[in-house]
Structure formats: C-alpha cells, structure tokens
A and B are shown apart, each in its own frame.
Chain A
C-alpha cells in the first residue's frame, strides 16, 4: 500500500493519535511542571506561565493533560484491545464449535451481562488490589461480553458459508477456520465496534476514577480531570472543557482511522479497484 492512498481524514486521525502517543511517551520531558505539583492558585486563567491555566487544586493543567495522556491512552487502549481479543476468540470458538461449548460460553456471557457493568466493576475492583493491570483486565473482561455478542452473531453468518465448509472438508483445525477463514470476513463490523468501544472505555475509566476505583489520585487521567474541574464551569472556568475536548478529539481520531480501515476491509478486492 502506498502512502498517497491514505485519505486526508485518515491522516488527521493518524497524526492525532501519534501526537497523543508522543505526549504520553515523552511526558516528563515536555511537561512544564510535575504531574502532582501544586504551582499556583486554584483555577487560574490561561497565561504565559500556565498555558492552559490551573486546576481545582492549583496544579498546572497543561502538565496534567500531558501526563494524563499516558494513563488515558494506555488504559483505554489496552482495555479495548484486550476485550476484543478475549471477545473475538471466545465468540468465534463458540460459533465454530457450536453445541455444548457454544451453550456454556453464551449462557455464561448472558450471566455476565445480566449484572450492571458499573456495579460489577465496583464490586470486583473493591475486592481486588488497586493496580493498573487489574483495572485494565476488569474493564476488558466486562467489555468483552459486548464484543462476544457481536462476534458470535457475525461469525455465525460466516461460519455457515461454503468456503468454511470447504475448509472443514479439507480437515482444517478450528484455529485456522477462526483466524484465516472467518476473522478476515468479519473485520468490518468488529472494527466499527472497536471505534465505539474505545470511546466508551475512556468514559468508563473516567467514571471509575470519579468513584475512586479507577486511576487513583493524584495520578492524572483525562476523564478524572473533567470530573475534578466540572464545578468550575459554574464560575466560567473552562478547565473541565479542555480534558473533555481532548477525549473527544482522541475518540474522533481513532474513529477516523477506523473508518479508513473499514473502507479497506469491506473491499473484496484487497483495497484496489473499488474506492
């Protein structure tokens, strides 16, 4: 594939994501102040000293935004990727093997989904030790129930196609059928779902943070920063809008890239030919 085939919208998305990654990786070098450092008054205006002003505790908002990119990006992305890996693998296994395996997995999935996600997360996170890996895993497992539903539905449609039957006739194992025959034909709906789920992950993370079970203060994350500063809006302080805007921008960037990938995966000619 050539670079010039990538449409402008996808470039915007790619650049946005790369920028976020750049900030996340080099945060200590770029940020003018420390993540937890109280440097000024509460909710100071934007100035040359504090480019984006200060937050509800007088910490530099820009610095916290930059550090926040680390946790937000890492946790949301890792949770989404993990939830899709779990969801796709299990749902495809269920769709391909059918019978008792399908029943057990599907009913277990129903069971998981019958408990409200937030309450489930609160209970589990309250019991388990507070650590970022456990947070990611819990988010991923809860999210994977949705992916499972979608994955099983799309995989069932493909699993009855004759080319899958032809693969079975050849004697192929389940792994080949799942990853080589079915997955490439179900990428489009799954990618579209990924774009959505990623945005939800960021929101879910911020919800958990707000309830004190997500990212633990004083560590910064964008969702948490919205919650921290939301009271400022009443006084005309824009501090909450900045991390909010960043979340929106990141979600849009991810979806721009997903849209482009979607166009490629929905093409039956390997992305050549039909535009």
Chain B
C-alpha cells in the first residue's frame, strides 16, 4: 500500500522499565517486545489482551508517552511518516491534544470537577490555537449531537457531576475529537459502564469515528466489544503480539490457541436444575432503605433452592448489592422477611447467632479490599476455622491445606500476603475463606467483574466445581448475562430496586420479555461482527439519556 494512506506506523516497538528487587542489582525488564502494526486514516485498530499485556503501554507510546518509569527502548512510531519518539519536548507538546488525543477509562476521574464540561471539551483546541472560541464551541455542539448527548445546546454548561457515567464518557470522546485529531487512543472507554449504557457509548463512538474520519486505537480486554468497532484486531499477551489480523479473521477463524480461548470464553453453559422445590433461602416482600428515607428495595420476593444458583442481574443502582446486604443483615430490612432453612432470620446482624452467620458467607467484588492486607493467606483462611469450629494447630493447618487444594492453589501460598497474589488468586483465597465456614449459602457480589475474562472463567468453573462437591447454594450478583447463562439455575432481573422478572433460567431467558429484560439481553455484546449494527437497527437510540 502507498505510504500516504498510512497514518500511524509502529515498527518493532520495544518498551522497558527498570525494577529494583531488594538485595539484588536493578534489572531491566521488557514490557513490550517488538510490536509492529500499521493504521490507516479512518480505520480502527483494536488492541486486546488481559491485564499486563502491555496494551495501554502501547497506546500511550503512540502519543510518545511512557507512564512513570517506563522507557521506550527501541523501534519507531511514525505518525504521517515522522518518528514522534524523536521529537523534542515542545514538538511532543504540539502533537498531544492536537494531532493525537486520548480517552481514558475513567471519565469521572479524568474530568476536572471544578470546571464546566463545555470549557474542558474545547480547552485543548484553544490552547493549541487551532480554532477560535466561537469555532470551538460550534464544533463541540456538533460533536455533542453526533455523540447523541441530550440537549446538546446546553450540555456544555453542566459540571461533570451533573451527568451520568455514560454521558461523561461520551463527553470525553467529544473532548478528544474536538481539535480534529488524526488519531485517538481509546483506553477501555466502556469497561466501567453497564452493558445497557456501554452499547450507547459504543454506538456513539463508532458513529463519531465514521463521521469525523479519524483513526483510532481501541484498547480493551473484551473481545466482543472490540469486534464491533474495529477494522483490525491485535491480540497481545505479556507484551508479545499473539495474533494480528482483520476483525473478521480474528473472530471467525482465530489461528492461535490463546485467541481461540478468548473467543470461546463465553461458551460455558450450565444445565438448569429441574427440581427447585427444596427452598433454602426465601425473600418475601422485602423493602429496605438507607437512612430511613431513600428506599432502595421495593417489595422484593424471590427464592433459592438448596445446592442451586440464583443469579441476580441488573445495572448499577438497581439494588442488587443492597439485596445481598439485606440477606447478610448488614442493612436491616424495613419490611418483609428473609427466611433461611425454613427459619425467619432476625433482620440485623447483631441479633443473629454465630451459626446463622456461619451458614451465610459473602464474597466481595474486590478481593483486594475484602482481605486484610496485613494477614497471610493462612491467617485469612484459618480464622473462620478457629472462630467457628475451634480448630487449632495441626488440625487447622490440615484443613487450610485442604481448602488451598480445593481452590487449586496448594500449600505454597500459606505464608503469602494478599499483595503477593494475582487478582485471580486473591479471589480464590476469598472463596476459600467463605468455604472455611462450611456455609449453606454463599452470596457472590460480582466476584469476577474485576478480572480478566480467562481468569474469570477459571473462577466460575471453580465455583461450579465446589457447588457439586459441597452442595452449597449461591446467590450470584452480576450484570453480565453471559455469566448468568453459564452458572444460573434461576434468575431475578432487577431494575430500580424492584424485581422485574424472576423464575427458572429457561423461563426468564425465553420470550415474551418485558422491555427492560429485552434491553438487557440485547445489550450484551456478542462475539460476532456486525452485532452492534443489528441491535441498533432493532432499537432506536431512545436510551440516549444514559
């Protein structure tokens, strides 16, 4: 292809950093090992991989930027044929925010809360002297319209806290597009959003890219998302390129083992249990509120059978985590009852017996904060053993080993601190801590949403294996329909504190749907090219208010 169509050309990019292990000499380690790709005008390249794959590092290198301590050690990054790595500091300043722009993962953290959105969106264009204030405002208005933001004329007058997360992410995209850049780097722009919001943002971004003919690097860990928006996809792992090809080829005919694993990650399915009559947990007409005024749960009723899994699905703010807190007693309910094993549980934590507490365990979304960082794995898992069963010494150690085996980690982790574990290992330890109590019910509050897809799949498989072995029941809170399909026996769909739909999986996931369940099911990205367009055809951008 002729060189003038190539906007960005990365050749054999090598990025490294120096680590300082104690008691040893400093070592240079490689973070990205010789990655090359080309990007044409108006095209989108998806960079995909799990955490630590180096995808964000590559994205930032395309702006000639290295995060704290990171050095670009080799290779070239050619933007319009010019190696931007060789630019002077002032040259780089002219580049950033004018020719290359960046959209960060957390828009909420990236906007200055003290300034109006409109002023922030046009700031870079004014700083670089690319347009007058009038022109910039006009362009911002145009972009707000293109991105489907509500009331585009007055949107810029709002402050960041006055708009929703999805809108903020789109405002950030507008900010990046405003100076009319040649390249935009999107760093996981939809990862922190609900599926129903994600689809709007995705559609808006795609539309805006097409409309403005900008090239983009789209970084994400979700292959299904990147399949909707990219022309080409590069799969990365540990700083190495695994596979690079067109989106179609990667999704439909992946060559590498690792890519195949990523494509197939959502294939897990569980056959639904037929007999759901042996009820272990029953929530009857429960309402709850924070501080007595703001009602979060309205008349929630559902049941769960012994040894089975109830999935509670809904977007942020739907009250699904609150329901878990009510069941545990952390938030006493105001109306209704929660019965467990046929016995009505006292509403507040303090009124419950130690045996009640033992039988219901909770696994948190963030294993990082759910474990005391000053305790070793052995202490974390061992405490419930001592606390509930009075185990000490050798018997305790043997049981800890048994649990470590059960979570497929082994004795070697006994003395480790949580900071010395990976994300997936931490969540496994949290599971072991819950299991140590020999519970009848484990409440799982989005335990996999912070994990990479392959690691999350491992956790789900582990949970299913443990259910088979110990007949433990799960209440599994999630916003991911794919997980629901993989593990649930029954499903409750929640919206604004109410149960929208509840029943066995086969019934809930079969038509006719109510509006919300329909929207939710259709919003889950599928590993399929053209899914986004298909969905958008069937539904207007009516939820642009997100």
List the interface of chain A (C-beta within 8 A of B). 161-163, 165-166, 168-172, 180-181, 184-185, 268-270, 272-275
CB-based contact B387/A162 at 8 Å: no
- Residues in A with CB closer than 8 Å to B20 are 275
Number of interface residues of B (CB under 8 A): 32
- Residues in A with CB closer than 8 Å to B369 are 161-163
List the interface of chain B (C-beta within 8 A of A). 20-23, 328, 330, 349, 352, 354, 357-358, 361-362, 364, 366, 369-376, 383-384, 387, 417-420, 433, 437
- Residues in B with CB closer than 8 Å to A169 are 328, 330, 349, 357, 361-362
CB-based contact A269/B362 at 8 Å: no
CB-based contact A170/B417 at 8 Å: no
- Residues in A with CB closer than 8 Å to B370 are 162-163, 166
What separation, in Å, do the CA atoms of A226 and B460 have in the docked complex? Answer: 70
Q: Report which of B22, B23, B371 forms a contact with A163, defined as CB distance below 8 A.
A: B371
CB-based contact B372/A181 at 8 Å: yes
What separation, in Å, do the CA atoms of A169 and B383 have in the docked complex? Answer: 13
Q: How many whole Å from A179's CB to the nearest CB in chain B?
A: 12
Which B-chain residue is minimally distant from A265 (CB atoms)?
A: B374
Q: How many whole Å from A225's CB to the nearest CB in chain B?
A: 42
Can you pick out 17 interface pairs between chain A and chain B where the beta carbons lie within 8 Å of each other? A162-B370, A163-B370, A163-B372, A166-B362, A166-B433, A168-B349, A169-B357, A169-B361, A170-B384, A170-B387, A170-B437, A171-B358, A180-B375, A184-B375, A269-B419, A270-B417, A272-B22
- Residues in A with CB closer than 8 Å to B330 are 165, 168-169
- Residues in A with CB closer than 8 Å to B376 are 270
What separation, in Å, do the CA atoms of A165 and B366 have in the docked complex? Answer: 13
- Residues in B with CB closer than 8 Å to A272 are 22
- What are the 9 closest A-B residue pairs judged by CB atoms, nearest first? A184-B374, A275-B22, A268-B419, A171-B357, A162-B370, A163-B372, A162-B369, A268-B373, A171-B354
- Residues in A with CB closer than 8 Å to B354 are 171
CB-based contact B22/A185 at 8 Å: no
Q: How many whole Å from B226's CB to the nearest CB in chain A?
A: 32
Q: Known pairs A169-B357, A272-B22; list 11 more (Cβ under 8 Å).
A: A168-B349, A169-B330, A170-B383, A170-B387, A171-B357, A180-B372, A184-B374, A268-B374, A269-B419, A269-B420, A275-B23
CB-based contact B372/A185 at 8 Å: yes
Q: How many whole Å from A157's CB to the nearest CB in chain B?
A: 12
Which B-chain residue is minimally distant from A272 (CB atoms)?
A: B22
CB-based contact A274/B22 at 8 Å: yes
- Residues in A with CB closer than 8 Å to B352 are 171
Q: How many whole Å from B19's CB to the nearest CB in chain A?
A: 10
What separation, in Å, do the CA atoms of A272 and B22 have in the docked complex? Answer: 8
Q: How many whole Å from A135's CB to the nearest CB in chain B?
A: 36
Q: How many whole Å from B524's CB to the nearest CB in chain A?
A: 28
What separation, in Å, do the CA atoms of A161 and B374 have in the docked complex? Answer: 13
Q: How many whole Å from A235's CB to the nearest CB in chain B?
A: 53
CB-based contact A185/B373 at 8 Å: yes
Q: How many whole Å from B21's CB to the nearest CB in chain A?
A: 8
CB-based contact A268/B387 at 8 Å: no
CB-based contact A184/B372 at 8 Å: yes
- Residues in B with CB closer than 8 Å to A269 are 417, 419-420
